[in-house]
Amino acid sequence: MRAVVYTEAFQTVVLIGGSLIVTIIGLNAVGGWAELKAVAGSDHFNMWRPASDPDFPWTGMLFGGTIVGIWYWCTDQYIVQRTLAANNISVGRRGAIFGAYLKLMPIFIFLIPGIIAFALREKGMLEYDHSDEVFPTLIGYLLPVGLRGLVAGGLMAALMSSLASVFNSSSTLFTVDIFKKLYPNASVERLVQIGRWATGVVVILGMLWIPIMAKIGGGVLYQYLQSVQSYIAPPITVVFLLGILWKRTNARGAIVTLFFGLVVGVLRIALELAREDLNGIWEWYATVNFAHFAIFNFLACLVVCIVASLTAAPPSRDQIKGLTFGTLTEEQKQENRDSYNIWDVVISALLLIIVISILVYFRG
């Protein structure tokens, strides 16, 4: 885990630095920010598209995006594993806040370069056929040879970082949460070997999945990622939120909800792959916007979790003591208040102001 963290920290610097160079040089090539807005048009600077927009409706981005965000930031092993590696809750909280600031960067190092590429194509200065070709084409057009290598290294760093994190998390989940539970007396050497085998299986499954990626989200990599996340996030988000907010949530409710959400998500993927042959309700199910689908799935999973939990006995107070807001003791509440200071509040408030400012600015 230590090796992964140090490697990713270095790769992050390279990726952000290289992408910022592309943005700065690209803006200069277009003729500045004002020229970029004039050439690209207001539609490319609008995050609040109509609710009927087929790709990114504001309702889906606001509510569906929140569902996916809670899943990713609060429950995904990729994030949770790093947060739990902090020395204490104060360090973990500040790391999460710092990560939120870094999460603002893609607007300026990925979204803006995409608009720059569109503007350059409108001016006849750049050519590309597919949106997935934009960034490498932009690098080849804007940067000299030395800087091309630096930015290409940043892209490879991002790829290596993601793969390393996925492999590390997958092997840890399988080895510790499944295999070790079945074989509690297994030696460390055996667990390491099982982890390696699990990683190999994940690699093979990933390779087999590649042809399917081109058929989801219109064949665009970014939309594929957003679509799949919207299919798998709702049940996990429901279980997480009800688990900490509602004392009545129990194991039956959680398990039934997760399996229900899994079936709903897999069915959506299967039908989306065969959408040309569908009609009626099944066609709607396969083609409804991915973010709106996340909202509908979330509401359905919410009902399932509540109903399923009510059909079984509630968990005892000892089982959930300190795990839900309703069972926190006064000592735990005070300990939590003591774990942050005024500066944590200030930088969090500043982050919120920046986010709101960005949303207000990008209205077309």
Going residue by residue through the chain (364 aa), what tens digit of pLDDT does each one get? 666 677 777 777 777 887 888 889 999 999 999 999 999 888 888 889 999 988 889 999 999 999 999 999 999 877 887 788 888 889 989 989 998 998 888 888 888 988 999 999 998 888 888 777 888 888 888 888 877 887 777 777 777 777 777 787 788 888 988 898 888 888 888 988 998 998 899 889 888 888 888 778 777 778 888 899 999 999 999 999 999 999 999 999 999 999 999 999 999 999 998 888 888 899 999 999 999 999 999 999 999 999 999 999 999 888 888 888 888 888 888 888 888 999 999 999 999 999 999 989 888 7
Say if residues 309 and 250 touch (Cβ distance below 8 Å): yes
How many whole angstroms separate alpha carbon 7 and alpha carbon 77? 18
Report the pLDDT value the prediction gives residue 41, as an integer from 0 to 100. Answer: 86
Name, in order, each residue with C-beta under 8 angstroms of 299's C-beta and a sequence gap of 6 or more. Answer: none
Say if residues 243 and 252 touch (Cβ distance below 8 Å): no
Name, in order, each residue with C-beta under 8 angstroms of 353's C-beta and a sequence gap of 6 or more. Answer: none
Q: Structure pTM?
A: 0.86
Say if residues 86 and 92 touch (Cβ distance below 8 Å): yes
